[in-house]
Amino acid sequence: MTTESNPKDFSKQQRIKIHQPDASKADSFNPRNRIYVRAVDGLWTTLRRYMGWIAMLFFLLLPWLPWGDRQAVWFHLAEQKFHVFGLTIWPQDLTLLAALFMIAAFGLFFVTTYLGRVWCGYTCPQTVWTFIFIWFEEKFEGARNKRIKLDQMPWSVNKLWRKTAKHTSWLLVSLLTATTFVSYFIPSRELYIDVFTLNAGGGIYFWVVFFTIATYGNAGWMREIMCIHMCPYARFQAAMFDKNTYIVGYDTQRGETRGPRTRKQDPKEMGLGDCIDCDLCVQVCPTGIDIRNGLQYECINCGACIDACDNTMERMGYDKGLISYTTENKLDGIEEKVLRPKLVGYGVVLTVMILIFIYASATIAPVRMDVIRDRNSLYRQNNQGNTENTFTIKILNKTEQPQEYELSVEGLPNAQWIGPQHVSIESGEVITLPISIAVDPIELKRSITKIDIKITAVIEGSPIEIKQETRFFGD
């Protein structure tokens, strides 16, 4: 064997050429071509399986977790408020929800820059539910080769019952998923009783059926089509990758040239690398790619091909790691850099956003007050000869119980309050109070005076005080 054919002496340009997809497989991502995913066991598959079940159980059980006289997480659209454990978010606090979405976005950017598409491979609902559906598929139709043969066989009693059992299990999981999702918006105990006793409203049944069909279609039929053709994250992930991002990578220097052999044969004498070209890495891939063709946006970093290859290497008596979580720099023999400007930038922004969210959540006021001046007249002289300004005060009780509030004015000596100063407001209620403030003109030192409208209350044993600045006009 000449030295030119030794994979250890390949130039970078030659290795890039090996990474190019085979033209004969250009149609491998045609949505009409079904992918039969082969089962595999290994470290990363076990980790993904545990994380998937944890995510699934968290999703299913969270609506059943009680918090006082309600469920812990309840998006109460009818009253326009979100309950998240002890935190109640009103429409006036939706900046918190926006901040939470920003935290999720920058968290995703940070993790992707460092670890690649691990969100897609381990915790994305599409991936979690797809592997659950594949599990049912394997239980009823058998391993990969059996499923292929079953689909090629003519219809029979055996094929009919297996297909029926599989699709029935898919629909039951989809129905459970849909009902659970709706229970985040309607109290779970009421929802399940009403749905399964046929006492729910038409709107509830519409959404349950809609999300059942969506789950059944996405995880049962579309699967990799969602990841490859519809998910926007697969498209813009390249903007977050760099050569130090961890990816699922194939060691070309070690693996090429590929070729079959027995365990007793010496690959070096045959001029071969460690890859025996068994194609198991392709068969276990949920998106149907060949990782040996290099980095591809279709790869979701699930690690299934790593487990398949490690199992093969172990059987052949070779070192594991031919396919592994690695970086492009490491594959090219360049030193890896963990800390780089983009990663640090995402980390700093993420940390700042989390701190802002924590502070804003901890300082949400249990009452909101808006003071609106009368725009028709700046001021007027009343019958007592005092200067009078008119305001409209709106007060929202953001607590879960009725509250008593006292109103007053500061910054205007000897001011007269005309209107109610003691009000009782039900939970979630907004009241509008037209009031006037009058003062002897002698007390006014200037034509415009800054004043504070103050509201005080005792909520859950703690006194609270809220002020809003406004202007008092006079001569």
Q: What's residue 30's pLDDT?
A: 52
Axis crossing angle, helix 188-196 with helix 202-215, rounded to the nearest 10: 90
CA distance 337 to 290: 27
Q: What is the C-alpha separation between 307 and 130, in angstroms, rounded? A: 19
Region at 317 (left for phi over 0; alpha for psi -120 to 50; beta for the rest): left
Place of tokens 């890039």: 16
Q: Of 219, 239, 259, at which residue does a domain stop? A: 239
Q: What is the CATH number of the domain that holds 455?
A: 2.60.40.10
- Are 255 and 173 members of one domain? no
Pairing of strands 380-381, 367-373: unpaired
Q: How far is CA 99 from CA 93, 113, 152, 232, 352, in A?
A: 10, 21, 52, 21, 11
pTM of the full predicted structure? 0.81
Residue 420: what pLDDT? 92
Same domain membership, residue 208 and residue 70: yes
Per the DSSP assignment, residues forming a β-bridge with 71 are 66
Instruction: Please check whether residues 275 and 390 belong to one and the same domain.
Output: no
Residues 194 and 252 in one domain: no
**Enclosing H/E stretch for 453:** strand 448-459
Determine, yes or no, domain membership for 359. no
Q: Are residues 194 and 312 in the same domain?
A: no
Same domain, 62 and 204: yes
Assess whether 230 and 247 both reside in one domain. no
CA angle centred on 29, ends 162 and 44, rounded to 5°: 70
Bond preceding residue 164 cis, omega within 30 of 0: no
Residues forming beta bridges with residue 404, ordered by sequence position: 424
pLDDT of residue 438: 94
Residue 262: how many other CB atoms lie within 10 Å: 7
For 130, other C-beta atoms within 10 Å of its C-beta total: 22
Residue 412 included in any domain: yes
**The total number of structural domains that make up the chain:** 3
Residue ending a domain, among 213, 239, 265, is 239
**Is the separation of the CB atoms in 309 and 323 below 8 Å?**
yes
Structure tokens of 176?
């459970």
DSSP track, 230-285: I-THHHHGGGT--TTS-EEEE-HHHHPSP----TTS-HHHHT--S-----HHHHT-
pLDDT score, position 86: 80
Last residue of a domain, one of 205, 239, 273: 239
Judge whether 216 lies within some domain: yes
Does a structural domain hold residue 353?
A: no
Check residue 78 and give its pLDDT.
Answer: 83
- Quote the pLDDT of residue 16: 36
The number of residues making up the chain comes to 475
Any domain includes 303? yes
In a domain, 355, yes or no: no
Instruction: Report d(CA 277, CA 194) in Å as an integer.
Output: 56
26 falls within a domain: no
Q: What's the domain range around 322?
A: 3-14+242-331
Regarding whether 149 and 46 lie in a shared domain, the answer is yes
Exposure string of 84-119, with b = 16+ CB inside 10 Å and e = fewer, is beeebbbeebeebeebbebbeebbbbbbbbbbbbbb
Q: What is the distance of C-alpha 437 from the center of its chain?
A: 50
In terms of domains, do 73 and 215 share one? yes
Same-domain check for residues 59 and 192: yes
Is residue 437 domain-shared with residue 377, that is, in the same domain? yes
Strand, helix or coil for residue 52:
helix
Q: Is the dihedral of CA 29, 31, 34, 40 positive or negative?
A: positive
d(CA 404, CA 456): 9
Q: Chain centroid to CA 472: how far? A: 48
Longest distance between any two alpha carbons in the chain, whole Å: 113
For the chain, residues with pLDDT lower than 70 are 1-32
For residues 91 and 156, state if they share a domain.
yes
Residue 352 in domain: no
